[in-house]
Amino acid sequence: MSLYHRLFDTVLVRTDPEQAHHAAFRAIRAGRPVAARAVTHLARAGDPVPVEAMGLRFPSALGLAAGFDKDAVGVDALAALGFGHVEVGTVTGEPQPGNPRPRLFRLPDDRAVVNRMGFNNEGAEVVARRLAARAGHRPPPPTDGRRPVLGVNVGKTKVVPDDEAVADYQKSTGLLAPWADYLVVNVSSPNTPGLRDLQAVERLEPLLSAVRRRADEVTAHRAARVPLLVKIAPDLSDDDVRAVGDLAVALGLDGVVATNTTTTRDGLTSPAARVEAAGAGGLSGAPLRARALEVLRLLRAQVGDDLALVSVGGITTVADAQERLDAGAALVQGWTAFVYEGPLWPARVAAGLRPGG
C-alpha cells in the first residue's frame, strides 16, 4: 500500500470530502511548478505518447474530466501532474452557488463518489476573464504537444427557464470559446433539474446548432474551428445513445464525451445505510466501468471513424484506460480515480498508454 493510500484510508476518509478537495487543490496549485513537476518525474515509467485528435495534438491520451477545476484556477498545475488535457467547468452563463452542503460523498468500498454539486461555479464572465489573463489576452496558439490542451465544459444555469436554455448556452459559448482549445456541451448532469431532458434529439439538435454558430462567430479569426463535443449520460438507453451518435455526425460535431455520472446504484458493495446516507446525485468511479465501456463501443459502432470519442467513467488502472483506447476512444479522462489514487496517478497512467493499440 502506498503512502497516499495509507493517508487516504486512515485520515482523508474522516475529512469532509468537499473540504478535502479544496485543501488538496490548494496544495496542487501552491506546489506548481516545482513540486508538481517533481511528482511527475518520480511517477513516470517513460514518456507519454502524444495523441492527435480533433485537429489538436495532446501531450498524452489521459485528461482530467470536468468537475475538478470548475473555475479554471489550476489548469497548469494540474497539467504538471501529468494530465495531457484539462477540461474545466462545468461553467454556466450566470454564477451560481450550487446545491446545499453536504453535497459530495465517498463510497470507499466501491472506490466511488456521489455528488450533487449542482454546477457551483463563478460564472462564464469571471472564468473567461481568468482564461484571458492566462493566455495573455491572446487566442491560444495551435497545440504542438508541448502544452496541455484546455477543454471548456459549459452547462445550463439552474434558474434559467428551459425555454431560454439555448440563449444561456450561447452566452457561455460566446465568452469562453475564444480561450478554449475545445468546447463541450454538458446536457447530462443529474444535478440540474430538467438538464438531461436536453439529450432528447429533438431538443439537442437546435441547442448544438446554436452553440456551433456562436462558437464560430467569436472565433472567426482562428485558422480552424474550435472543436465541439457533447457529453452524454450512461443512463441513456442504447437506442438513445445511437441516436445521439447519429445526430453528432449529422451536425458535424467533432466528438462525444461518454459518459457523465449515473443515477443508478446497482451492484454496489458499500453498506446500504452508507449509500442511503449519501442520497441523490451522480455516482462516479469504478462502478461505472462496465457501462462506460459499453456506451463507448455502441458509439464507435454507430459513428465509425467520423468522431473523436472521449471515454470517461470507471478508469482506474493503465489497463482500464488502455481498454478504452483499444475499444475506439481517442482520449480518456479520469476524476474519481485521481481522488482515490493520489497525485502520482495521472503521470503513471499517461506514461503507460499506447494510443491506437
CA dist 95 to 1, 103, 116, 148, 158, Å?
A: 41, 18, 17, 26, 10
Instruction: Choose the catalytic residue: 172, 188, 189, 311.
Output: 189
Q: Which amino acid, one-letter code, is at 309?
A: L
Q: What gap in Å lies between CA 220 and CA 232, rounded to an integer?
A: 28
Cβ atoms of 226 and 213 closer than 8 Å: no
User: Does 116 belong to an annotated binding site?
Assistant: yes
Concerning whether 189 is annotated as a catalytic residue, the answer is yes
User: Does 68 belong to an annotated binding site?
Assistant: yes
User: Does 121 belong to an annotated binding site?
Assistant: no
User: Does 117 belong to an annotated binding site?
Assistant: yes
User: Does 90 belong to an annotated binding site?
Assistant: yes
Task: Tell me the three state secondary structure of residue 351.
Answer: helix
User: Does 214 belong to an annotated binding site?
Assistant: no
The x, y and z cell numbers of residue 133, run together, are 489573463
User: Does 258 belong to an annotated binding site?
Assistant: no
Q: How many CB atoms lie within 10 A of CB 316?
A: 19
User: Does 119 belong to an annotated binding site?
Assistant: yes
Q: What gap in Å lies between CA 70 and CA 295, rounded to an integer?
A: 25
User: Does 357 belong to an annotated binding site?
Assistant: no
Q: Identify the residue whose cell numbers are 484546455.
A: 150
How crowded is the C-beta side of 223, counted as CA atoms within 13 Å? 6
User: Does 173 belong to an annotated binding site?
Assistant: no
Please give the annotated binding residues, written as ranges: 66-70, 90, 115-119, 153, 186, 191, 231, 259-261, 285, 314
Which residues are annotated as catalytic? 189
Please give the annotated binding residues for FMN, written as ranges: 66-70, 90, 153, 186, 231, 259, 285, 314
Please give the annotated binding residues for substrate, written as ranges: 70, 115-119, 186, 191, 260-261
